[in-house]
Amino acid sequence: MDTTIWLESLLTKTPQEGYELAIKLSRMGVKSTQPDMEVLKKLRPVYANDAAGLTAASQVIAINFQTISAANNYWK
C-alpha cells in the first residue's frame, strides 16, 4: 500500500461525491491486493467486459457506499 495520504475523510459535500468516494475505496481494495499497475491495466478489460464481473464491482461499491452514507448521516 502506498504511504501517501489517499483517504483524508469519509465526509463529502454531496451524495454523488460520496458515491465517487465509494468507487475510490473499492479500487483501493483491489490495489492493496495487486499493487502492480501494469497487471491492473491488463485485468481491467477482463472484468469490464464481463457481466458477472461488472455486477460484482457494483456490489463492492454498494457496500462501501453504505459506509460513506452512514458517515455522512445520509446527507440529511
Determine the Cα angle at 41 with ends 64 and 39, to 5°: 100
Q: With CB under 8 A, what is the number of residues at the site for a copy of itself?
A: 54
Shortest distance, position 12 Cβ to a copy of itself, whole Å: 11
Query: Residue 74: left if φ>0, alpha if ψ -120 to 50, beta else—which one?
Result: left
- 30 interacts with a copy of itself by CB under 8 A: yes
Shortest distance, position 49 Cβ to a copy of itself, whole Å: 6
The DSSP call for residue 20 is H
- 9 interacts with a copy of itself by CB under 8 A: yes
